[in-house]
A and B are shown apart, each in its own frame.
Chain A
Amino acid sequence: MTLLEVNNLTVRFYTAEGVVTAVDDLSFTIDRGEKFGIVGESGAGKSVSALSVLRLIENPGRIESGEILLDGENLLEMSDKEIRKVRGNRVSMIFQDAQTALNPVYTVGEQISEPIRHHLDYSESEAKERAIELLDTVGIPDPQTRYSDYPHEFSGGMQQRAVIAMALSCDPDLLIADEPTTALDVMTEAKILNELDRLAEEFDTAVQLITHDLGVIAEVCDHVMVMYAGQPVETASVDDLFYDPKHPYTVGLMASIPRIGAGDTRLQTIPGVMPDLIDVPTGCTFHPRCPYAEDVCTQKEPGLVDPATGTEVGADADRGASCLAYTGDLANDLTFDVTVGDAGQSVGGESDD
């Protein structure tokens, strides 16, 4: 059952340098209890798309078109008062940098219990009790004492857990996790991902996980959308994406994952950088970096199509890729292949044979 439906969302920032189209005609759906991943390089529009769901885009940014339906209600048409009831209650967010997300002058406990009092009408003592329970759930040792600590008294991992506790405080229907583990060491990252997974199962919460780490996606998500330059370039289930990627950008991302023992002397990269979103390349935005690009790629922008049939697909499609190879516009075929290692470890690679 669909919980969140984003249709044709376009977000622009009006700057002195020019107009930045951070999210361009983006559509996707998230079902109840689904773990949906959004992956891409920095500047792909992942965070802006997440912030748009909560209408947290600040000036000079504007949500210019589209609709965001939560259980059928359009969040973009709600009044400020109505959207405040949704934030932190039905939809909550784990922000990218926990240290910045926490207010340094309030105790951690107070920051967790505030939304409980505000949204669930708990009394002060009940909210405190619930906050201590949540701190315990996310693995903060001695939560009774830690409740009164200020954020600077917490380590980075503990701050991240506190932000997760805050996000889970009102049992949200949708939890948006914007790179929740980027600033953390791998041990803490693993613990937090496990907790996220376990808590999502426990509370039957849908998770929208934003990351640039494909390993995290493989670990946590059911369905994935790959974004590039503000647009979706591929959408698929996790298995399909890893075993049968369809877009050259996805293949490039997977080939860039360092593999211990692979014997490579250099790290694989995708040549070039993400384009400036004020001045995106004509045609397919990925063409300047694509090893399979032909002249037509500079003149025609591909839509999201079913790679098997080449027909345009909608927001709720199981499989879609935006490459002219699937609409019959390219003279040559995409020649990458994916091999899976003996130990069950996937080894994505591309070849120009």
Chain B
Amino acid sequence: MRRIYESDALERDNEDTFTPNERDREHKPQLFRSLNASAWSDRLLHHGVRCRAVSVRIETPRTEFEQGEVIPFRVWMKNSLPIPVTIRTRSPVLWSWFVDDYEEASKVSLREPPEEPAKIRFDRGQRVRFEKRWNQMFRIDEDEWRPAQPGEYTLRAAINVDSKKERNLSDETTIRIV
């Protein structure tokens, strides 16, 4: 069977600007960008330092909402270091949001993610924004929901790490349903 590298289909020429150069296997590229900055940051920075470099913020457009109104909220995550950082999470669920400590406003277990750590990665100085909404419903059973009653509720977003490391990897805000 003919393989592509045996086919001589690709013309190589060091003189012509518009054709690929001859292969040079002796020299490796030396540019700084060839460094795997994430891998180095993982090796050189302690996980605690990486956790402190990332911050989480949650915000709603206002604090009072009519009953039955959909509540939109934004979650911001920011890496304040000029190098990429990676944070180890407890499971493949990298982060989640909670209403009064109920994950995704569910009073029953939503899912059983595999018990294996995963990683959430941020580029240097990266700010990520997630748009979410809560429709004022609490899941009370596998197939049943109930509307939230008027009152105060705490919306929280957190990266899925051990509680000791959570500190600035979680944020909360209070809203009122009237």
Binding site for B on A (CB under 8 A): 12, 14, 16-19, 21, 60, 62, 64, 105-107, 110, 279, 281-283, 298-303
Contact = CB atoms under 8 A, between A and B. Distances in A.
B40 interface: no
Contacts, number: 53
B112 A299 contact: no
Given A282-B145, A299-B145, A300-B143, A105 B130 contact: no
Closest 5 CB pairs of A and B: A14-B92, A301-B143, A105-B4, A282-B145, A282-B137
A302 B143 CA distance: 7
A21 B113 CA distance: 12
Contacts of A281: 135
B111 A19 contact: yes
Interface in B83-132: 92-94, 96, 111-114, 118, 120, 128, 130, 132
Contacts of A110: 1
Given A282-B135, A299-B147, 19 more contacts: A14-B92, A14-B93, A14-B118, A16-B94, A18-B130, A19-B113, A21-B111, A64-B111, A105-B3, A105-B4, A106-B1, A107-B2, A281-B135, A282-B137, A282-B139, A299-B137, A299-B146, A300-B143, A302-B143
Contacts of A105: 3-4
Contacts of B120: 16
Interface of B: 1-4, 92-94, 96, 111-114, 118, 120, 128, 130, 132-133, 135, 137, 139, 142-147
A106 B1 CA distance: 8
Contacts of A298: 137, 145
24 contacts: A12-B111, A12-B113, A14-B93, A14-B94, A14-B118, A18-B132, A19-B111, A21-B111, A64-B111, A105-B3, A105-B4, A106-B1, A107-B1, A279-B132, A282-B135, A282-B137, A282-B139, A282-B145, A283-B145, A299-B145, A299-B146, A301-B143, A302-B143, A303-B143
Contacts of B1: 106-107, 110
A253 B47 CA distance: 52
B104 to A, nearest CB: 9
A279 B106 CA distance: 13
A87 B145 CA distance: 41
Contacts of B145: 282-283, 298-300
A299 B147 CA distance: 8
